[in-house]
C-alpha cells in the first residue's frame, strides 16, 4: 500500500487514482498527523509526502516516521526544492524527492526504485536473521561439562575486542563458535569474513588477505580488495592459521597489531578496525617450539584461548546432537522421522567419531536419505560405523559382532531377539525398538525361518 500525504486533497486524489491505474494500491490523507495514525493501523510499503503542510510539515513527519518505522521508504513531493533541500532531505532519511509539477511516469519510476530497494533490504535482513538463527547460542548444542565451559567462555569474550584462538580437532565446530562470538558481539551487524588459510595456495595468500593493485604481478589486471579490507568494522576469522606460510606470518602480525596494511604492489597504507578470531587443529605451542610458527604471532592471537572438545570428549552430547541434526535434515527433505532405534543409537554411541561433529552430520544426513521407516535403524547407518571394532553391548542387551558384515550383525540381533521372544514377532520388535512391519522386512531379507526357536 502506498500512502499519499498532502493537504491539497484534489492533487492527492489524482495521484492515488493514477497509481491505482498502474497497478499500485494507494490511499491518501490530508495531514501528517492523520498519516501517522493511519500507518499504525494499516500495512504501508511506501509514503509520498508533501514537504510544506500546515501543522506538522514534511520534515518533521519524516523525522518521526524514521524513528518509528525506518523500514518504510519516503519520497518527498515539493514545489520549493533546491539542491541544498534535496541533500538535507536525503540525509534525514528520505529515499528521494519529486519537484512539482511532475510527470506521473517519473513518479512511478521513483516509486519502483524505492520498492525494489526496500525488497532488497528486507531480503538482506531475512538472510541476516537466518544466519543469526543458525549461528546463535541455540545452535551450539550440548550440556556436557566440556562444552558448557566453551559456552561460558563465549559469553565472557563476546563484547571485548580481544583476539580469540580456537584450538581443537577438525570437525569440532570451530567456525560455528567463531560466528557465535561475532554474532553476539557489538559487531554483529558488520561483516564476518572467513579465510581458510589451508585452502589458499601460498603464492596467492598475501593478495587474498591484503588485496593488490593493478599490475602488481603477472595476472593482476585490475585492483582487488582483500579480506582485511572486506572485514573492516567486523570480524576476520583466520581458519587453520597453523597452515599459514611462515614468511607471511610477519605481515599478518603487523596488520593485527597496528590494524594497518598495504595492498600487494602499493606503498599506501590502509587502516582498518577488525576483531580477529583464529582457529587451528594444530598444537601451536609445539609448532612454535619447532620453528614452524612465529612465537610473537602466537602470543598476539592467544589472548583468549578456547579449547574446543572433540566429540569423543563430549559423548554425553551425542544423542542431543544427533536428534538436532536428524530433525533439521528430515524437515528439509520432507520426511517424518521420530528418532533412532535403540540398536542404531547404541551403534552410534560405540563409534569413536574421528571426524567429530562434521562426521556426525554427514552420517545422520545419509541415514535420513536412505531411511524408509519411522525411525533411523541400524541398516540406515553407513557401513564404516561398524568397521574395525570387536563387540559392543546394545541397550537391549544383545551382543553385536562388529568384525562381521552388516548383514550378519543384523541376522544375529534379529535371531537373538526372536529366540528370547519365543518366536513372537511383536515381542521381538518391541525388544529391538522397531515396528513389527520393519522386523518382518528384515526376517524376509535375511531368510530367517521362524519356529519356536528362530534359525
pLDDT tens per residue, range 290-300? 999 999 999 99
Beta bridge partners of 167: 280, 307
Q: Is 196 helix (H, G, I), strand (E, B) or coil?
A: strand
293, 249 in Cβ contact below 8 A? Answer: yes
**pLDDT over 80 at 263, yes or no:** yes
Give residue 38's pLDDT band: very low, low, confident or very high (50, 70, 90).
confident
**pLDDT over 70 at 172, yes or no:** yes
**pLDDT tens for each residue of 308-347:** 999 999 988 999 899 989 988 998 888 888 899 988 998 8
Give residue 164's pLDDT band: very low, low, confident or very high (50, 70, 90).
very high
Name the more confident of 350 and 139: 350
All three cell numbers of 197: 588459510
Give residue 31's pLDDT band: very low, low, confident or very high (50, 70, 90).
confident
pLDDT at res. 80: 63
Name the more confident of 249 and 219: 249
Cα 406 vs. chain centroid, distance in angstroms?
37
CA-CA distance, 121 to 71, in Å (whole number)? Answer: 9
pLDDT at res. 414: 81
213, 266 in Cβ contact below 8 A? Answer: yes
211: left (phi over 0), alpha (psi -120 to 50) or beta: left
Question: What DSSP string runs through 117-178?
Answer: HHHHHHHHHHHHHHHHHHHSGGGS---SHHHHHHHHHHHHHTTS---EEEE--TTS-HHHHH
pLDDT at res. 408: 66
pLDDT cut 90: percent of the chain above it = 32
Report the mean per-residue pLDDT for the chain: 84
CA-CA distance, 331 to 328, in Å (whole number)? Answer: 5
118, 95 in Cβ contact below 8 A? Answer: no
**pLDDT tens for each residue of 374-425:** 899 988 999 888 875 444 444 444 444 343 446 667 777 888 788 788 878 8
Average pLDDT over residues 11-29: 89
Residue 78: its H or E element: strand 74-78
| pTM beyond 0.85 | no
2, 13 in Cβ contact below 8 A? Answer: no
Average pLDDT over residues 171-192: 91
Average pLDDT over residues 59-67: 85
DSSP state of 378: G
pLDDT at res. 85: 67
All three cell numbers of 61: 513527519
Give residue 130's pLDDT band: very low, low, confident or very high (50, 70, 90).
low
**pLDDT over 50 at 455, yes or no:** no
CA-CA distance, 291 to 280, in Å (whole number)? Answer: 16
CA-CA distance, 274 to 15, in Å (whole number)? Answer: 49
CA-CA distance, 384 to 352, in Å (whole number)? Answer: 11
pLDDT at res. 392: 41
CA-CA distance, 304 to 150, in Å (whole number)? Answer: 12
pLDDT at res. 271: 93
CA angle 105, 111, 115 (to 5 degrees): 145
Full set of structural domains in the chain with CATH: 2-128 (3.40.50.2300), 136-309 (3.40.50.300), 313-445 (1.10.8.60)
CA-CA distance, 279 to 170, in Å (whole number)? Answer: 10
Cα dihedral: 277, 280, 282, 283 (round 10):
20
Give residue 116's pLDDT band: very low, low, confident or very high (50, 70, 90).
confident
**Which pairing describes strands 391-393 and 304-307: parallel, antiparallel, or unpaired?**
unpaired
Question: What DSSP string runs through 242-292?
Answer: GGS-HHHHHHHHHHHHHSEEE-BT---EEE---EEEEEESS-HHHHHHTTS
CA-CA distance, 25 to 99, in Å (whole number)? Answer: 22
30, 6 in Cβ contact below 8 A? Answer: yes
Q: Is 324 helix (H, G, I), strand (E, B) or coil?
A: helix
pLDDT at res. 393: 40
DSSP state of 219: T
Please count the other Cβ atoms lying within 10 Å of the Cβ belonging to residue 362: 14
Amino acid at each position: 500500500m502506498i500512502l499519499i500525504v498532502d493537504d491539497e486533497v484534489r492533487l492527492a486524489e489524482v495521484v492515488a487514482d493514477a497509481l491505482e491505474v498502474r497497478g499500485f494500491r494507494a490511499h491518501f490523507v490530508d495531514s501528517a498527523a492523520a498519516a501517522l495514525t493511519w500507518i499504525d493501523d494499516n500495512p504501508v510499503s511506501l509514503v509520498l509526502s508533501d514537504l510544506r503542510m500546515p501543522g506538522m510539515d514534511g520534515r518533521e513527519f519524516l523525522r518521526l516516521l524514521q524513528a518509528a518505522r525506518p523500514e518504510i521508504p519516503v519520497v518527498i513531493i515539493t514545489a520549493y526544492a533546491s539542491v541544498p533541500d534535496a541533500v538535507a532531505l536525503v540525509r534525514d532519511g528520505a529515499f528521494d524527492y519529486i519537484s512539482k509539477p511532475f510527470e506521473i511516469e517519473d513518479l512511478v519510476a521513483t516509486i519502483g526504485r524505492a520498492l525494489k530497494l526496500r525488497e532488497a533490504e528486507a531480503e538482506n535482513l531475512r538472510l541476516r536473521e537466518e544466519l543469526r538463527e543458525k549461528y546463535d547460542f541455540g545452535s551450539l548444542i550440548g550440556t556436557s561439562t566440556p562444552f558448557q565451559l566453551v559456552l561460558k567462555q563465549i559469553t565472557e569474550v563476546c563484547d571485548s575486542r580481544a583476539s580469540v584462538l580456537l584450538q581443537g580437532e577438525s570437525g569440532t565446530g570451530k567456525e560455528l563458535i567463531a560466528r557465535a562470538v561475532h554474532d553476539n558481539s557489538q559487531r554483529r551487524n558488520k561483516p564476518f569474513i572467513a579465510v581458510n588459510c589451508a585452502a589458499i595456495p601460498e603464492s596467492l595468500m598475501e593478495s587474498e588477505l591484503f588485496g593488490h593493485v593493478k599490475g602488481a604481478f603477472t595476472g593482476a589486471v585490475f585492483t582487488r580488495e582483500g579480506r582485511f579490507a572486506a572485514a573492516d568494522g567486523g570480524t576476520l576469522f583466520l581458519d587453520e592459521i597453523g597452515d599459514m606460510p611462515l614468511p607471511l606470518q610477519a605481515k599478518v602480525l603487523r596488520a593485527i597489531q597496528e590494524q594497518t596494511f598495504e595492498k600487494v604492489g602499493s606503498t599506501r597504507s590502509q587502516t582498518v578496525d577488525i576483531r580477529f578470531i583464529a582457529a587451528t587443529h594444530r598444537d601451536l605451542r609445539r609448532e612454535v617450539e619447532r620453528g614452524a610458527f612465529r612465537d610473537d604471532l602466537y602470543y598476539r592471537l592467544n589472548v583468549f584461548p578456547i579449547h574446543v572438545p572433540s566429540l569423543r570428549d563430549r559423548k554425553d552430547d551425542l544423542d542431543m546432537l544427533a536428534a538436532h541434526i536428524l530433525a533439521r535434515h528430515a524437515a528439509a527433505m520432507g520426511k517424518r522421522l521420530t528418532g533412532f532405534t535403540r540398536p542404531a543409537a547404541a551403534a552410534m554411541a560405540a563409534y569413536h567419531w574421528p571426524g567429530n561433529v562434521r562426521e556426525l552430520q554427514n552420517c545422520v544426513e545419509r541415514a535420513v536419505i536412505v531411511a524408509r521407516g519411522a525411525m533411523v535403524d541400524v541398516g540406515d547407518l553407513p557401513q564404516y560405523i561398524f568397521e574395525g571394532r570387536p563387540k559392543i553391548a546394545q541397550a537391549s542387551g544383545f551382543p553385536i559382532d562388529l568384525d562381521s558384515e552388516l548383514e550378519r550383525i543384523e541376522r544375529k540381533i534379529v535371531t537373538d531377539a526372536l529366540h528370547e521372544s519365543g518366536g513372537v514377532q511383536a515381542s521381538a520388535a518391541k525388544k529391538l525398538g522397531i515396528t513389527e512391519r520393519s522386523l518382518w522386512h528384515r526376517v524376509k531379507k535375511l531368510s530367517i525361518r521362524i519356529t519356536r526357536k528362530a534359525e
